[in-house]
Amino acid sequence: MPDPDVTLAAIERARERIADRVRCTPILHNETLDTLLGAHLSFKCECLQQTGAFKARGAVNAVFSLSDDRLRAGVVTHSSGNHGAAVAYAARLRGVPATVVMPTNSSAAKFDAVRDLGARILTCEPTLTAREARAAQFVAETGAAFVHPYDDPDVIAGQGTLALELLQQQPDLDWVLVPVGGGGLLSGVATAVKALRPQIRVIGVEPARADDAARSFRLGSLVPYQVPDTIADGLRGALSERTLAIIRQRVDEIVTVSEQGIVAAMRTLWERLKVTVEASSAVPFAALLEAPPAMREAICGRRVGIVLTGGNVDLKTLPWS
């Protein structure tokens, strides 16, 4: 297993690099939800971030970390979701062409978002193998720089900037809850939080139907990947050796939530916080709503930071309608 290679210093450099290019997103509070959980909740609203998701942070940091020479042929990535739009956004800011390999079953809204940001789209079969192969082929043909959705120290450092903001906005947190898919966000957040406030408990949350991170975390090595079937489409990725190593070292716990719990949490956040979070975003809050008695008791009176990761949803097909 490689040593974790993302440091607080890298995250602080990332913050400077991306400062004028992404938003410092607001924190929302809600008394009704606080009363419901018996805790003080601080929701970090990355759904209000550029491109509608925290992914802009990592993509901008990665693209702006590359040399002009390395970017001569532009950048490429593969993504069915928010990372594609984030790379398109970063490339547009940098003034280089972006290509996004997208599976044919991506939603029309995702295609539109990437296209509206000026990126070229290449479609492929909806499997991880096909995506990776198409992107690798494009790199071989053109020399474009590949920006991985999470297995990249610059991407992880960019995502970690979210935690620097959160700790500044809400210095007195006891817990931080973060969704986990490929683990880029959780790695970046845990690195920043444990370096600055080691007493804060960092908890990853993932759908029970996509629990590879929880199992890999317990086992200490990557479990075989199977495409998971969960409404939280942003969390279908699997940990890499790199993110597993960081998470094993810096994350306290990974818990899982049910599909019904995710939908209930999503709806409650829409109704109470008035933000259109996507299903993946609702996963950490679902962990609080579904908390077993021991966890419910443990959070009582605590100050809990919750990362709402994105807000890109198809309004025509809401899961409760």
Binding residues vs a second copy (CB under 8 A): 26, 28, 31-32, 47-48, 50, 52, 109, 116, 267, 270-271, 273-277, 311, 315-316, 318, 320-321
Closer to a second copy by CB, 49 or 159: give it. Answer: 49
Closer to a second copy by CB, 82 or 243: give it. Answer: 82
Closest contact distance (angstroms) between CB of 291 and a second copy is 22
CA distance 216 to 193: 22
Closer to a second copy by CB, 42 or 191: give it. Answer: 42
Closest contact distance (angstroms) between CB of 111 and a second copy is 14
Written as six digits, the tokens of 285 are 């809050």
SS3 for 201?
Answer: strand
CA distance 320 to 51: 25
Written as six digits, the tokens of 189 are 């957040």
C-alpha distance across the termini of the chain, in Å:
45
Closer to a second copy by CB, 129 or 317: give it. Answer: 317
Amino acid code (one letter) for 6: V
Closest contact distance (angstroms) between CB of 113 and a second copy is 9
Closer to a second copy by CB, 52 or 228: give it. Answer: 52
Closest contact distance (angstroms) between CB of 294 and a second copy is 28
Nearby residues of 39 by Cβ (< 8 Å), 6 or more positions away: 288, 299, 300, 301, 302, 303, 304
CB-CB contact of 147 with 61 (8 Å): no
Closest contact distance (angstroms) between CB of 63 and a second copy is 17
